């Protein structure tokens, strides 16, 4: 049995495909019933039968309510599909698993293992969508699933199937599929491909072009010819009269779109209100519909080039993949705007699956067959480059156990290289000569002293072929933590484009006492860490319950949070609390994407209020350019609000997710406009706090306090001049921490805090008897001017206050 995965799958929005890597070549499997290379990602339910693919699409003519398509776009969400014939709902994960199971039937050679697979995902898929795809693979019976980003797969397919020297080149992969768009910047150095950067949109693809045909052409045609108004809701809403016809029209629109790639017009026929409708759409009409969507993709290309300081002429070519790149307008626009070669000489519908198989041929299985493991006498580990541009490749081998009396031999498959029999050692190495521009297969065989074969291991090296230098993280991963102004901010954990897998440990202070039934909850978000939390996407949270802790945790105790992200974007979080010497594993709770229209309205209102405040501030300070930008943004907010109000809660399209994405982008734009203002606000806070902190440290601090303050001040010039909001905030936080510690040593502050808690607290204490004891002791310490004891008592009293009282008193007396 092969020790590499070998099976590669493109799980697409509209079509899917499966390939197998075998000794340097890739086999693309066909559907045995249609003899097509791809399988439509459509699932139908007919009584006790599940139908997948072309037959499912055809069944939509009879019972569209029992047929589901385009479900990939709802992976990672909480949405389900109601299936009348089953009298239950099906999740996008389950539907995807049916497609994967059907793809497995394409592989009719029983000798080919189907226990593991590389499955591709859009580069712009978030962590939850990626996890959902992996779950679908596991549900389909794969014991091991590795995820691969689609632009990487396409690049591997191109690089390993074309005799072209790609060394020291840069190119763009333009991936416009049925449901998603990705553009990735790729480079090759020293025979290894690297993804430099990427942009994408999970809700921009060929299915959106189909939707535009239906919503902008067919529905208005029906309204005009049948005397209806507001038919759109009747089609899109789950309770709408024509909801099932809407799904059928989308498939008919897709067929028309395909025809328009080679013809000047296409006709769409369907029944409506007992009448036959013959609707014609021309190529010019279709191109005018999708023009703005294509411009969006061009804008993303420009963003990547600008961010990486690249001119158009520094890009060698653009590689087109995805079925929607068959549209002539797409290729023309990209070519005209960039002025570089637009390559479409690999099949855009199967390139991703082929590239996935190439990658699968380099991925060792983690879950090897038990019989192989138990029969192996030696544990053998090998280290070598699986893809090489050299004439020979160095291989290091480590053999565990006692090797005395055993020998080994390494032989190239074609017989052109043979080490001969050599004594086995625990550590050994060989330079293996390679056949040029080919896959080289060697066997490493261990013999006993009678020349009986004990064990055989394989070595596979591709000469002149390309491998990928790891998969990049598509977006920043951050924690949402408290800010100095009572709001929250983002703390970066993993940076965008860092190569997976990743691991990091950070230390955070607990900002409240954890007792009773309380918990520590920290949100994990994905997006731009330099922006506002609301411009990011929540992907889950870590949660620690007091009930699982050995004792109460005081405010200020440390949490050591370790975050790990695998190549397939599994996020694993563990937390260690040194104070109680307890470790908590797997505390991350993934969050499915939930978008409610009423929540979107609330979030838009909050964003609108923030923009209004910034507008007023900018007007008062005569910042006319900023005023214009904020007015423009406010108009965008108003337009978005109107769009949101037109969508009902039972809308069955992807509209709510597209609107939420728009909201996040507008929040990002707002942050970009006002970030300098926010940085200045933090700087002013720092500069205002610094003299007071220096006075407090000089009066009440010890040598360590003074050293800590000196370290902060030494970073001051670099951090303040950086204009990086995270750096400036970090500087302020450190100064606040020193200031906080010193104030608890200042007699006037401590006495004032004690008096305020005792005399002005209107909400009582959570433990009155304990509070009375502390107040009595505090009175004596107050009278005796025992500031150290009074400080400890006041802090404990503060922790006995209800949360609302803590907040009120913090604001009044200046607790941090």
Write down the pLDDT at residue 388: 84
**Distance (Å) of CA 201 to CA 252, 310, 729, 732:** 24, 22, 31, 36
317-321 and 170-176: which strand pairing?
parallel
Which element (helix H / strand E) includes 25?
Answer: strand 25-28
Distance CA 121, CA 134 (A): 10
Q: Which domains does the chain have, with CATH numbers?
A: 1-162+347-372 (3.30.420.40), 199-345 (3.90.640.10), 376-468 (2.60.40.10), 476-587 (2.60.34.10), 597-717 (no CATH), 744-813 (no CATH)
Residue 215 has what DSSP assignment?
I
Write down the pLDDT at residue 372: 39
Distance CA 102, CA 118 (A): 16
φ, ψ of residue 123 in degrees (nearest 5): -60, -25
Which element (helix H / strand E) includes 342?
Answer: strand 341-343
Distance CA 593, CA 684 (A): 38
Task: Using a cut of 0.85, tell me whether the model's pTM lies above it.
Answer: no
* Cis peptide bond upstream of 185, omega within 30: no
Q: Do 674 and 616 contact (CB within 8 A), yes or no? A: no
170-176 and 144-149: which strand pairing?
unpaired
Q: Do 347 and 200 contact (CB within 8 A), yes or no? A: no
φ, ψ of residue 513 in degrees (nearest 5): -75, 135
Q: Mean pLDDT for each 10-residue chunk of the chain (816 residues)?
A: 86 96 90 92 92 92 88 93 92 97 94 95 94 96 96 93 81 95 92 89 94 95 89 87 87 94 95 91 97 96 95 95 95 92 91 95 71 62 87 94 93 93 94 89 92 90 83 94 74 94 92 83 92 89 91 87 94 94 91 87 89 89 90 94 89 89 91 84 91 93 92 91 82 88 89 88 83 92 91 86 73 56
Residue 323 has what DSSP assignment?
G
Residue 396 has which token pair?
């290091």
Residue 465 has which token pair?
């072929």
Q: Which of 374, 377, 174, 392 is nearest to 294 (CA)?
A: 174
67-69 and 42-46: which strand pairing?
antiparallel
Helices (H), 181-266: 206-212, 219-226, 231-236, 243-259
- CB neighbour list of residue 617: distance below 8 Å, 6 or more residues apart: 677
Write down the pLDDT at residue 269: 94
Q: Which of 30, 46, 15 is nearest to 107 (CA)?
A: 30
Sheet strand arrangement including 571-577: 502-509, 558-565, 571-577, 582-584
Distance CA 403, CA 697 (A): 66
Residue 143 has which token pair?
């014991």
Residue 520 has which token pair?
């520590």
Distance CA 351, CA 162 (A): 12
Q: How many CA atoms lie within 13 A of 197 on its CB side?
A: 13
Write down the pLDDT at residue 487: 73
504 burial via Cβ count (<10 Å: 0-12, 13-18, 19+)? middle
Q: Which of 48, 66, 47 is nearest to 56 (CA)?
A: 66
φ, ψ of residue 347 in degrees (nearest 5): -65, 115
| Strand-pair partners of 153 | none
Residue 281 has which token pair?
């759409």
438 burial via Cβ count (<10 Å: 0-12, 13-18, 19+)? middle
Distance CA 93, CA 98 (A): 9
Distance CA 740, CA 372 (A): 62
- CB neighbour list of residue 439: distance below 8 Å, 6 or more residues apart: 23, 24, 25, 460, 461, 462, 463, 465
DSSP secondary structure, 722-738, as one string: H--HHHHHHHHHHHHHH
- CB neighbour list of residue 375: distance below 8 Å, 6 or more residues apart: none
Write down the pLDDT at residue 816: 43
């Amino acid at each position: 049995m092969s020790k590499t995965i070998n099976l590669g799958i493109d799980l697409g929005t509209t079509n899917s495909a499966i390939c197998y890597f075998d000794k340097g070549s890739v086999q693309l499997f066909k559907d045995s019933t249609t003899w097509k290379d791809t399988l439509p990602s459509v699932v139908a339910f007919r009584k006790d039968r599940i139908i997948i693919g072309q037959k499912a699409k055809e069944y939509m003519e009879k019972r569209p309510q029992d047929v589901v398509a385009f479900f990939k776009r709802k992976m990672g969400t909480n949405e389900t599909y109601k299936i009348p014939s089953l009298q239950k709902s099906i999740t996008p994960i389950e539907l995807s698993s049916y497609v994967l199971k059907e793809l497995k039937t394409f592989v009719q050679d029983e000798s080919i293992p189907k226990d593991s697979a590389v499955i591709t995902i859009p580069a712009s898929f978030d962590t939850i969508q990626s996890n959902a795809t992996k779950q679908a693979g596991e549900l389909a019976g794969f014991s091991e699933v590795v995820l691969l980003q689609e632009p990487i797969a396409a690049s591997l397919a191109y690089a390993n199937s074309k005799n072209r020297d790609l060394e020291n080149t840069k190119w763009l992969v333009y991936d416009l599929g049925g449901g998603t768009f990705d553009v990735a910047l790729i480079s090759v150095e020293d025979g290894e491909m690297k993804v430099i950067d990427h942009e994408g949109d999970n809700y921009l693809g060929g299915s959106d072009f189909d939707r535009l045909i239906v919503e902008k052409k067919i529905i208005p045609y029906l309204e005009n010819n049948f005397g209806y108004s507001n038919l759109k809701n009747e089609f899109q809403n789950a309770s709408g009269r024509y909801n099932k016809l809407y799904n059928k029209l989308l498939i008919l629109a897709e067929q028309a779109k395909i025809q328009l790639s080679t013809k000047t017009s296409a006709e769409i026929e369907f029944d409506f209100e007992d009448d036959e409708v013959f609707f014609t759409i021309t190529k010019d009409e279709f191109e005018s519909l999708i023009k703005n969507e294509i411009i969006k993709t061009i804008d993303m290309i420009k963003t990547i080039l600008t961010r990486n300081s690249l001119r158009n002429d520094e890009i060698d070519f653009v590689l087109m993949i995805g079925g929607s790149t068959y549209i002539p307008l797409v290729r023309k626009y990209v070519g005209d705007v960039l002025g570089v070669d637009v390559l479409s000489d690999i099949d855009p519908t199967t390139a991703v699956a082929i590239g996935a198989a190439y990658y699968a041929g380099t991925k060792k299985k983690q879950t090897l067959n038990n019989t192989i493991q138990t029969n192996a006498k030696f544990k053998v580990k090998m280290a070598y480059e699986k893809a090489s541009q050299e004439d020979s490749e160095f291989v290091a081998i480590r053999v565990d156990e006692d090797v005395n009396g055993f020998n080994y031999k390494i032989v190239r498959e074609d017989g052109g290289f043979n080490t001969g029999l050599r004594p086995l050692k625990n550590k050994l190495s060989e330079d293996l000569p390679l056949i040029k521009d080919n896959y080289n297969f060697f066997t490493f065989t261990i013999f006993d002293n009678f020349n009986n074969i004990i064990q055989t291991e394989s070595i596979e090296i591709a000469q002149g072929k390309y491998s990928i230098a790891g998969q990049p993280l598509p977006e920043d991963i951050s924690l949402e933590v408290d800010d100095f102004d009572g709001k929250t901010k983002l703390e970066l954990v993993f940076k965008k484009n860092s190569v997976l897998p990743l691991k990091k440990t950070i230390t955070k202070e607990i900002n409240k006492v954890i007792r009773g039934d309380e918990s520590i909850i920290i949100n994990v978000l994905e997006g731009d860490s330099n922006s506002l939390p609301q411009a990011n996407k929540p992907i889950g949270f870590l949660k620690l319950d007091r009930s699982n802790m050995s004792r109460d945790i005081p405010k200020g105790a440390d949490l050591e949070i370790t975050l790990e992200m695998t190549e397939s974007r599994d996020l694993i979080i563990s937390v260690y609390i040194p104070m109680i010497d307890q470790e908590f594993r797997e505390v991350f709770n993934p969050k499915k994407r939930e978008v409610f229209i009423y929540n979107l309205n609330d979030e838009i209102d909050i964003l609108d209020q923030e923009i209004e405040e910034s507008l007023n501030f900018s007007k008062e300070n005569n910042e006319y350019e900023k005023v214009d930008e904020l007015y423009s943004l406010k108009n965008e907010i108003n337009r978005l609000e109107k769009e949101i109000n037109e969508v009902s809660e039972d809308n069955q399209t992807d509209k709510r997710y597209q609107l939420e994405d728009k909201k996040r982008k507008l929040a990002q734009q707002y942050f970009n406009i006002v970030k300098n203002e926010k940085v200045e606000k933090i700087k002013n806070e720092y500069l205002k706090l610094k003299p007071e902190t220096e006075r407090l440290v000089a009066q009440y601090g010890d040598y360590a306090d003074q050293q800590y303050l000196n370290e902060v001040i030494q970073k001051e010039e670099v951090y303040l001049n950086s204009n990086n909001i995270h750096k400036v905030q970090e500087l302020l936080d450190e100064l606040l921490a020193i200031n906080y510690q010193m104030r608890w040593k200042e007699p006037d502050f401590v006495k004032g805090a004690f008096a305020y808690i005792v005399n002005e607290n209107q909400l009582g204490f959570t433990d009155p008897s304990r509070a009375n004891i502390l107040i009595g002791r505090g009175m004596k310490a107050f009278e005796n001017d025992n500031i150290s004891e009074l400080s400890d008592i006041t802090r404990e009293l503060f922790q006995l206050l209800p949360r609302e009282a803590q907040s009120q008193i913090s604001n009044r007396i200046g607790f941090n």
